[in-house]
Every structure is written in structure tokens, then in C-alpha cells.
Structure 1
Amino acid sequence: MSQTFVIEAVMIAIYGQLLNPDKPVNYIVPYTTIMELYEFAESDEPLMNSPLEDREVRNRVQELIRYLEEPLNKKKIQRCLQMPWAQSSGIVFSDNVQISVVNALDNAYYGESFDPIETELILSSLKKEAPMLTDQFELIQRMIEAKVPVQVFDIEDFSYALEGTSPV
């Protein structure tokens, strides 16, 4: 049985270790974060501090976009966009990794403390009863301060998260 985590699509492109876990993992990705991939791909602003790392991450973002645009994967994504909170069937990346896209909706419940993407990640974690992975320490701090009832892990603690969470 695989473990489930909610995550932004760009994090999957940035952190290669997420695509090579020791155990089966299902990443739940809000659709709006997939749309962000296109913004990152077209933006001139650097994604990483080093030009070499920036170029590599941009290449991975483009690869992820191309993979998600393959006909079968695109069809799975389009199907889940028909209803709020619908989730796509799994898009297989490897023997141990699949992604499910969720048509998350920002209902402004956490709107005062969090931006729309952050709110969708939080609500997805709540609805899908899955922990969240992020590299944004400030987000984790704000979630703790706001007493958001979601288990959240820093991506640097991904191995620990795999060991420390129960399969969903």
C-alpha cells in the first residue's frame, strides 16, 4: 500500500529524491499547482540561486509538463476537472511513484493567513487526510501558529516522513 502526500507540482520537479522513494508513494497535487508549472517555465525570474541549478530545474519542469500533457495523462487530469474536489486516477511515474491531481478549490477559509495555493494545499490535506510536503519553512511556521490541523513535513525530512506516517 502506498503512502500519500499533498505537494505542489513544482516541488516534484525541483526535488529529484521525491521521484525515487524507497516505498510506494502517491502525491496528491492540486491542479492550480500544475498550472503554475507553465508560469515557471515561461518566467525569466530564476527559480534557483545557481544558474546551473536553475537551468536543470527548468528542464525538469519542462519534462514534467510534457509528461502531464501526454494524451492518457491529460485525459485523466481533464476528467477530474469536471467536479470540485474530484481526484484523477493515478498518473504513474515509476514503480514507486504516482501522482493524482485534485481539482481543489480555495474557499477562503484560511485566506487571511495563507495565499490561494497554500489554502488549496491545506484543504487538500484535510480532505484527503494526507500529510503535506513543502520546502517553505515560513509556511510550516504559519501553519503551526494558525493551529492548522494538518501534518506537514519539510521536504528535507522526506525519508523520515515515509517512515513516520501510516499508509493511506
Structure 2
Amino acid sequence: MSRQFVTEAVMLAIYGELLLTPVPVEYMVPYTSLLELYEFLSSDEPLMSNDEDDKHVKEKVRELLDYLDEPLNKKKIQKALNMPWAKSPYILIGETTRVTVVNAMDTAPYGEFFDPVETELLLVSQREQTPLLTDQPELIHRIIDASVPVQVFDIDDFQFAVEGDHFTHPI
């Protein structure tokens, strides 16, 4: 059985270790976070502070988008877009890694505290009872401050999250 996490698509491009895991892992990604990848590529704003790192990350984002735009993968993603909260068939990304795209639609419950993509991440995490994985400490703090009932892991704790047996369902 694979470990599951909810995360943004950009995390898969930025952090290569997410694709090279010792155990099978499935990432649930809201469709809107895939759309953000196109925005990142077309934007003049850097994703990373270092020019070399930024160029490398944008190259990885392009590779991920090219892969997801392949006909079979694109067809799987389109299948999820037919109904709110539908999930795509999984897309293999590596030997032990797969991605499921979720057509998360509702952004109202946490709109005051979180942007629309963050809200969708939280709602997918709650709906699927799956931990959220992020590289944003401020998001983790806002989740705690807002008492959102999700389990969240910082990217620095990814290996711990994957290897451990501490997955709990929020109350």
C-alpha cells in the first residue's frame, strides 16, 4: 500500500526526493495547482532567489508539464475535470511515485485565511483524510492558528513521514 500526501504540483518539480522514495507514494494534487505551473513558466518573477536554481526549477517545471501533457496523461487529467471532486486515474511519475489529480472546486470554507489553492489543498486533505506536504512554514503556522483539522508535514520531515507509521486521521 502506498503512502499518500496532498501537495502542490510545483513541489514535485522543486523537490526531486519526492519522486525517489523508498516506498510507494501517491501525491494528490488539486488541478488548480497544475494550472499554476503554466503561470510560473510564463511569469518574469523568479521561483527561486538564485538565478541558477531558478533556471533549474523552471526546467523541471517544464519537464513535468511536458510529461503531464502527453496524450495518455492529459486524457487521465481531463477525466477528472468532468465532475467536482472527481479524481483522475493515477499517473506514474517514477518507479515508486504516482500522482492523482483532484478536481477540487470549493474555496469558500477557508477563504479568509488561505488563498484558493491553499484552501483546495486543505479541503482535499480533509476529504481524503490524507496528510498535507508543504515547504511553507507560514502555511503550517496558519493551519495551526486556524485549527484546521488536517495532518501537515514540512518538506524537511518528508523522510520521517514516509518511513514512519504515524499517519492518523484528524478528528
TM-score bracket for this pair, using the shorter chain length: over 0.9
Asked if the contact 1:3–1:167 (Cα under 8 Å) also holds between the matched residues in 2, the reply is no
User: Aligned equivalents of 1:167 and 1:142: distance in 2?
Assistant: 20
In structure 2, the CA distance between the partners of 1:145 and 1:167, relative to structure 1 (3 Å rule), is closer
Q: Which residue number corresponds to residue 154 of structure 1?
A: 154
Alignment partner of 1:80 is 2:80: yes
1:114-129 correspondence runs (5 A):
114-129=114-129
User: Aligned equivalents of 1:79 and 1:115: distance in 2?
Assistant: 26
* Count of residues in Structure 1 that have an aligned counterpart in Structure 2: 168
Identity of aligned residues (%): 58
Query: Which structure would you say has the larger RCO, counting Cα contacts within 8 Å and 6 or more residues apart?
Result: 1
SS at match of 2:13: helix
What is the CA deviation profile of residues 34-64 of structure 1, one whole-angstrom value per residue up to 9, with x for unaligned ones?
0000000111111101111000000000000
The one-letter code matched in structure 2 to 1:113 is: F
* TM-score, reference length from structure 2: 0.95
SS at match of 1:82: coil
Q: Please state how far the C-alpha of 1:71 moved relative to its aligned partner.
A: 0.3
Q: Please state how far the C-alpha of 1:163 moved relative to its aligned partner.
A: 2.3
**Unmatched runs of 5 consecutive residues or more in structure 1:** none
What is the CA deviation profile of residues 43-98 of structure 1, one whole-angstrom value per residue up to 9, with x for unaligned ones?
11111011110000000000000000000000000010000000001100122000
Q: Which residue number corresponds to residue 142 of structure 2?
A: 142
SS at match of 1:107: coil
- Residues 100-109 or 51-60, more deviating: 100-109
User: Aligned equivalents of 1:47 and 1:59: distance in 2?
Assistant: 11
* TM-score, reference length from structure 1: 0.97
Q: Which residue number corresponds to residue 52 of structure 1?
A: 52
What is the CA deviation profile of residues 69-128 of structure 1, one whole-angstrom value per residue up to 9, with x for unaligned ones?
000000000010000000001100122000000000133101111111100000000111
The one-letter code matched in structure 1 to 2:153 is: F
- Residues 158-167 or 131-140, more deviating: 158-167
Asked if the contact 1:6–1:124 (Cα under 8 Å) also holds between the matched residues in 2, the reply is yes
User: Aligned equivalents of 2:89 and 2:25: distance in 1?
Assistant: 14
The one-letter code matched in structure 1 to 2:33 is: T
Q: Which residue number corresponds to residue 105 of structure 2?
A: 105
Q: Please state how far the C-alpha of 1:167 moved relative to its aligned partner.
A: 9.8
Asked if the contact 2:151–2:168 (Cα under 8 Å) also holds between the matched residues in 1, the reply is no
SS at match of 1:11: helix
Alignment partner of 1:132 is 2:146: no
